[in-house]
Amino acid sequence: MSKKDTITPVSDFGEFKLIKHLTENIKLKHNSTIKGVGDDAAVIEPSGKKMIITTDMLLEGIHFDLTYVPLKHLGYKAVIVNLSDVYAMNAIPKQITVSIGVSAKFSVEALKDLYDGIYMACDKYNIDLIGGDTCSSLTGLSISVTAIGEADTDKLAYRNGAKVNDLICVTGDLGGAYMGLQLLEREKMVFNSDPNMKPKFDGYDYILQRQLKPEARKDIIELFEKNKIVPTSMIDISDGLSSELLHICNQSNVSCKIYEEKIPINFATQRMANELNVEPLVSALNGGEDYELLFTVPIELHEKITELHQISIIGHISEKGEENLIITKGGTTLPIMAQGWAAFGE
């Protein structure tokens, strides 16, 4: 075995040597980060802005399958999931903490791959890693990331601000991450039945990336700033369009109407859906993990919004008490149902 291929058990390092090994090359990027990794706690100074804090946990066997998820991609995605929540507040993420639970099956080199993905996300989105925790686990790998951001008070966007006649908008396209997951699961089943079979991924790079290495919409927040747009409400699409839209309606005490023909779906998503006999609209409404932004703006901004790339107007907000509806391409009116991801299977 070459030196490059050497596998080092985590037990050879111990907790503190492992933490030092994984974090020794951190370079801080923000003046608001006073103290990062290396003390009992981090110190940040947000300079008079509102602080935004969010946390997500990813568990092996529940949120990811290491049969087909590379550890580097997993580290990247674990950060993106949290940054997306900060951007959904129309805020700018600045710092993260990362805590991991690790079983004996993981080597030091494997964890280095995980952290390489974390650092890649930090570099791309200009984020400081300022702390966290590492502990042993009996049940595989768990990752908990906390993201800290900041925003001016008058620019924050909550879920509860949608008003009657507001335009309903989404960024990018929807359903790709879900269809990427279906493709990975299909090829895993094929491999389990015949390990000699090669996976059939040709032509599906886009939906695989949407699932394995998603991006957060920092560019849209910058676009809002440049065009002086403050959404009346906003949420990121992690659990499916229908579920997130109903969150906005319920918290804003309004209803909604959207149109199937306006919902953006990529060709690769449609192709995979057709191959698996899944209605593409279902993947967009209920799939989740797209990490696009769903937001509302006053109808007066219609012309400005239509001029912006990567944003689609898919409907409008209506009075509370009216039914939440989707109008199909054939003109049929259907109720919007929340059928996306449910954390406890409810």
Q: DSSP letter string over 14-36? A: -HHHHHHHHHTT-----TTEEE-
Task: Spell out the residues 6+ positions from residue 81 whose beta carbon is closer than 8 angstroms to its own.
Answer: 56, 58, 145, 238, 291
Q: Note whether 54 and 148 are same-domain residues.
A: yes
Q: Note whether 176 and 124 are same-domain residues.
A: no
Instruction: State yes or no: pLDDT of 3 exceeds 60.
Output: no
Overall average pLDDT of the 97-108 stretch: 92
pLDDT (tens digit, 9 = 90+) per residue, 125-170?
999 999 888 888 888 899 999 999 999 999 999 999 999 999 999 9
| Rounded-to-integer distance, Cα 190 and Cα 216, Å | 32
**Domain membership of residue 265 as a residue range:** 167-335
Q: Note whether 56 and 123 are same-domain residues.
A: yes
The fraction of the chain above a pLDDT of 90, given in percent, is: 73
> Is 254 a domain residue?
yes
Of the residues 155, 182, 200, the one at which a domain ends:
155
> Is 341 a domain residue?
no
End-to-end CA distance of the chain: 49
pLDDT (tens digit, 9 = 90+) per residue, 321-334?
999 999 999 999 99
Q: Note whether 114 and 229 are same-domain residues.
A: no
Q: Note whether 120 and 26 are same-domain residues.
A: yes
Rounded to two decimals, the pTM is 0.90
Question: pLDDT-based confidence at 20, cuts 50/70/90?
Answer: low
Strands 167-171 and 128-136, how do they pair?
Answer: unpaired
Q: What CATH number does residue 112 fall under?
A: 3.30.1330.10
> Is 280 a domain residue?
yes
**pLDDT at position 15, please?**
61
> Is 1 a domain residue?
no
> Is 49 a domain residue?
yes
Q: Note whether 112 and 223 are same-domain residues.
A: no
Q: Note whether 142 and 174 are same-domain residues.
A: no
> Is 4 a domain residue?
no
Query: Taking Cα atoms as reference points, which of 55, 273, 92, 30 lies closest to residue 174?
Result: 273
> Is 342 a domain residue?
no
> Is 343 a domain residue?
no
| Rounded-to-integer distance, Cα 74 and Cα 79, Å | 9
Task: Spell out the residues 6+ positions from residue 328 whose beta carbon is closer than 8 angstroms to its own.
Answer: 260, 281, 334
Q: Note whether 64 and 204 are same-domain residues.
A: no
